[in-house]
């Protein structure tokens, strides 16, 4: 069986002025369906770039990217749109909520975009409740705290029901309690068979992952189960 995410010899190069910057360099990676993967690495190591390639927001300069059986690196444009709609859901580092839509509508909107207009509103309300925002559904992004906005963004990604969920620093702005809540939700998704890829600076979070991938200077420098074994969310402290 093919893996959910399959990267071979992948590089992402930027030309800046006369020089070249490698955001990613010769990355080989396979992630199985239902895996909960944490990507660790210092700032500028290529974590966001990796997520963008997996989510088909960006195209590799060289190498092969196959996600859920789709060859992204060579797919035509309209294929990419369909792919994003049906396969990967994003939680962005800077929330990117629609400012003129309420929390509920932001989530509802994503469900509709994914092509499930029927019952979208109920679905959206349910997912918002899951991330602890049942009381805030009618708030606009401007009326929510940073952490709440982040949770709406997560709810928006979850609600699409896409098999792969990628999250860039989802707990960065959250307090411990809320952060744990979010991680539990993400873990639950993995348990339900979704592939979850979380990017973080926070080594502590990596303890609850099935697998930790460490990047440095655009290369994979470590790949394996968390050192010290997989921990439960309840055991985390930061």
Partner 1 sequence: MRLWFTLRWSARDLRKKWLQVAAIAFVIAIGTGVYSALGSTATWRRESNADSFAMTGMFDLRVKAAEGATAPAGALLAVLQHLPDPSVVSVAEERLIEPTQVDASTPGRSILVPGRIVGVDVSGGGPQLMIPFVAAGDGRALTAGDDGGATAVLERNFADFYDLPPGTTVRLSGDQSVTAVGLGLAPEYFFVTTEDGGFFAQANFAAVFVPLATAQRLTGLDGKVNDLVLNVRADVPVAEVKAQVTAAFAAADLGLGETVMTARDDTTYRLLYDDIDGDQKVDNVFAMLILAGAAFGAFNLASRMVEAQRREIGIAMALGSSRRQLALRPMLVGVQIALAGVVLGMGVGLLAIWALRPVYMTTLPMPVWHTGFQWAVFARGAALGFVLPLVATAWPVVRAVRMSPVDAITTTHRTARGGLAPLLRRLPWPRSAFRRMPIANVLRTPRRTLLTSLGIGAAVATLVAVLGMLDSFYGTVDANDREVLADHPDRVAVALDGFVKVDSDQFAALSSSPTVGAIEPVLRVGGHVRAVGQPMTSGFDVIVESIDMTSEVWTPTIAAGNSDHGIVISRTAADDLHLSVGDSVILTHPALSATGIAMVDTVVPIAGVHPSPYRFGVYLDRSQLAVFGADGLANAAYLLPSAGTTPDDVQRALFALPAVASVQPVSMSSTVLRNSMDSFTSVFRVLEGFILLLALLIAYNATSINADERARERATLFAFGLPVRRVMAIEIVEGLIYGLLGTAIGIGLGAVVVNWVASSVISTTMPELGMKVIISGTTILTAVLLGVVAVAVAPLLTLRRMRRMNVPGTLRIVE
Ligand X SMILES: Nc1ncnc2c1ncn2[C@@H]1O[C@H](COP(=O)(O)OP(=O)(O)OP(=O)(O)O)[C@@H](O)[C@H]1O
Q: 211 contacts which partner out of partner 1, ligand X, Mg ion, none, CB within 5 to 8 A by kind? A: none
Minimum distance of partner 1 from residue 103's CB (angstroms):
11
**Calpha distance 122→42 (Å, rounded):** 40
Is 113 among the residues that bind partner 1 (CB under 8 A)?
Answer: yes
Residue from 4, 5, 23, 180 touching ligand X (CB under 6 A): that is: 23
Stretch that binds partner 1, among 64-72, 104-112, 186-194, 222-230 (CB under 8 A): 104-112
Question: Distance of CA 135 to CAs 130, 138, 139, Å?
Answer: 11, 8, 9
Number of H helices, E strands in the chain: 6, 10
- Cβ contact 65:71 at 8 Å: yes
Residue from 26, 64, 101, 201 touching partner 1 (CB under 8 A): that is: 101
- Cβ contact 139:132 at 8 Å: no
In the complex with ligand X, which residue's Cβ is closer, 20 or 135? 20
Minimum distance of ligand X from residue 90's CB (angstroms):
14
Is 148 among the residues that bind partner 1 (CB under 8 A)?
Answer: no
Q: Name, in order, each residue with C-beta under 8 angstroms of 26's C-beta and a sequence gap of 6 or more.
A: 9, 10, 11, 63, 219
Is 45 among the residues that bind ligand X (CB under 6 A)?
Answer: yes
Residues lying near Mg ion in the complex (CB under 5 A) are found at 48
């Amino acid at each position: 069986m093919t893996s959910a995410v399959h990267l071979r010899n992948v590089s992402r190069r930027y030309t800046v002025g006369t020089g070249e910057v490698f955001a990613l360099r010769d990355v080989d990676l396979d992630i199985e369906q239902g895996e909960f993967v944490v990507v660790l690495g210092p700032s500028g190591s290529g974590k966001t770039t990796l997520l963008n390639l997996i989510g088909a927001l960006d195209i590799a300069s060289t190498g092969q990217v196959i996600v859920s059986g789709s060859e992204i690196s060579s797919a035509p444009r309209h294929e990419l749109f369909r792919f994003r709609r049906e396969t990967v859901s994003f939680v962005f580092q800077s929330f990117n909520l629609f400012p003129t839509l309420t929390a509920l509508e932001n989530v509802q909107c994503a469900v509709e975009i994914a092509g499930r207009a029927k019952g979208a509103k109920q679905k959206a309300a349910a997912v918002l409740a899951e991330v602890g925002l049942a009381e805030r559904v009618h708030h606009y992004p401007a009326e929510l705290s940073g952490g709440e906005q982040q949770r709406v963004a997560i709810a928006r990604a979850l609600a699409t029901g896409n098999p792969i969920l990628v999250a860039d620093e989802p707990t960065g702005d959250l307090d411990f309690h809320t952060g744990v809540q979010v991680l539990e939700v993400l873990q639950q998704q993995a348990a339900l068979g979704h592939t979850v890829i979380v990017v973080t600076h926070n080594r502590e979070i990596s303890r609850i992952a099935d697998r930790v991938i460490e990047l440095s200077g655009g290369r994979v420098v470590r790949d394996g189960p968390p050192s010290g074994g997989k921990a439960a969310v309840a055991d985390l402290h930061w």
